[in-house]
Amino acid sequence: MKIASWNINSVKARMPALTEWLEAAKPDVLCLQEIKTVDEGFPRLEIEALGYHVSVHGQKSYNGVALLSRQSPDEVTIGLPGDDGDDQARYIEAVIPAGRGVVRVGGIYLPNGNPVGETADSEKYRYKLDWMARLKTHAAKLLTHEEPLILAGDYNVIPRAGDCHDPKAWWGDALYRPETLAAFRAIKHLGLYDAFEMLDGRDGQYSFWDYQGGAWQNNLGIRIDHLLCSASAMDRLVDVSIDKFVRDGAKPSDHVPIVGRFDF
């Protein structure tokens, strides 16, 4: 069973790339981020025609997440609990049949957080840290359940120096600074494992390259898209791949898919 995540950077602008990848990679579950459309604008029929159930948590122009699954999902929920005033569409969750059991998948679009501000207390950075605290609370609750858990998405966190081309230049950015890394560790320390780090772990394996400045051509990337797995999910993880070749396609997203293959 293949469970994947991809920040698609507008699902409507990316349909040729998305359909091509779905038909080739055939994931069983795909979490999409930055669909940049309301629910009604999601190309549901085209995706369903490829054999997927479509669950959407959309938003006009910005953010927006979706969850595609070959099997019909149960218990689909949208929005990260913990702040009723948060109107940004960044979280979707479902329980998916897997083998003889089920797996719970959360699709995450964690806030970027820039600019940080001189004293690291800008509104956007506070929102990022608050969101990470809410994710920790929610993950702790989900980890009390029996089924394997995978929290897949664009975390906007560079976990290690080796996950960016120029750590000194990135240090201090909202994606790579002490408070961000501490919050990310706190989530992992609940009992979640970075699938790529555990099964591959090489430096320089990026999932995002900026459109600007020839970042892709010069391999100036960062690894910010992650699959965090509970222990029982990790026990079933066979391999992880970052589909870097997708960045060379026509009209690519600035992110590429990350895929975990599980023995469910």
Partner DNA sequence: ATGACGCCCCATGGGCGA
Q: Of residues 28, 154, 173, 194, which has the active-site annotation? A: 154
Cα 58 to its chain centre, rounded Å, is 15
Phi-psi region of 9 (alpha: psi -120 to 50; beta: other; left: phi over 0): left
Question: DSSP assignment, residue 164?
Answer: B
Q: Is 211 a catalytic residue?
A: no
Query: Beta strands of the chain (E only): which ranges?
Result: 2-7, 29-33, 53-57, 65-69, 74-78, 91-98, 101-109, 149-154, 192-194, 208-209, 221-222, 225-230, 237-242, 258-262
Q: In the complex, what is the shortest distance from the CB of residue 145 to DNA, in angstroms, rounded to a whole number?
A: 29
Phi, psi of 136 (to 5 degrees): -60, -45
Position 177 contacts DNA (CB under 7 A)? no
Q: Site map for DNA, 54-93, x if CB under 7 A? A: ------xxx-------------------------------
Nearer to DNA, 36 or 226 (CB): 36
Q: Of residues 52, 91, 109, 206, which has the active-site annotation? A: 109
With tokens 């956007």, the residue in question is 124
Cα 183 to its chain centre, rounded Å, is 16
Q: Is 84 a catalytic residue?
A: no
Nearer to DNA, 28 or 173 (CB): 173
Nearer to DNA, 107 or 111 (CB): 111
Q: What is the footprint of DNA within residues 110-169 (CB under 7 A)?
A: 111-112, 114-115, 124, 154, 156
Q: What is the footprint of DNA within residues 194-253 (CB under 7 A)?
A: 208, 210-213, 222, 224, 251
Buried b / exposed e over 240-263, threshold 16 CB at 10 Å, is bbbbbebbeeeebbbbbbbbbbbe
CA distance 43 to 37: 10
Q: In the complex, what is the shortest distance from the CB of residue 263 to DNA, in angstroms, rounded to a whole number?
A: 31
Position 37 contacts DNA (CB under 7 A)? yes
Cα angle 229, 234, 238; round to 5: 120
Identified binder of DNA from the candidate list 9, 180, 230, 241, rule CB under 7 A: 9
Binding site for DNA (CB under 7 A): 7, 9-10, 12-13, 34, 36-37, 41, 60-62, 111-112, 114-115, 124, 154, 156, 175, 208, 210-213, 222, 224, 251, 254
Which residues are part of the catalytic machinery?
109, 154
